[in-house]
């Protein structure tokens, strides 16, 4: 889920992690692909960022976490905004 913030170059991104296995997930990363969108809806580029997975996620458990994802303010001129559309999770 994405929620706008008071800065056009940031948004709050909430993810829910479900571990359907039996073993706990002990480490991993979350990679965000944040798109810079123009006033006419044109995608001007993607900025990637990475954070640590909120571990541990025990077997059979669910964990929810919200991150404020930002790009450099100069990348988002007035009239433009961001959308974090891509999320990639890698765990161990």
CATH number, residue 49 = 2.60.40.10
Longest dimension (CA), the chain: 48
Supply the range of the domain harboring residue 57: 2-91
Q: How confident is the model at residue 68 (pLDDT cuts 50, 70, 90)?
A: very high
Q: Which helix (H) or strand (E) holds 22?
A: none
Report yes or no: 18 and 62 within 8 Å, Cβ to Cβ. Answer: yes
Domain count, the chain: 1
Residues in CB range of 25: below 8 A, 6 or more apart: 17, 19, 53, 55, 56, 57, 91, 92
pTM of the full structure: 0.90
For 14-29, the pLDDT digits (tens) are 999 999 999 999 999 9
Mean pLDDT on 78-83: 96
């Amino acid at each position: 889920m994405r929620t706008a913030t008071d800065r056009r170059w940031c948004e709050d991104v909430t993810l829910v992690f479900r571990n359907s296995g039996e073993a706990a997930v002990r480490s991993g990363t979350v990679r965000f692909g944040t798109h810079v969108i123009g006033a006419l809806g044109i995608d001007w580029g993607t900025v990637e960022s990475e954070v640590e997975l909120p571990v541990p996620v025990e077997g059979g458990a669910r964990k929810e976490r919200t991150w404020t994802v930002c790009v450099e303010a100069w990348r988002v001129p007035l009239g433009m905004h961001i959308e974090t559309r891509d999320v990639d999770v890698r765990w161990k």
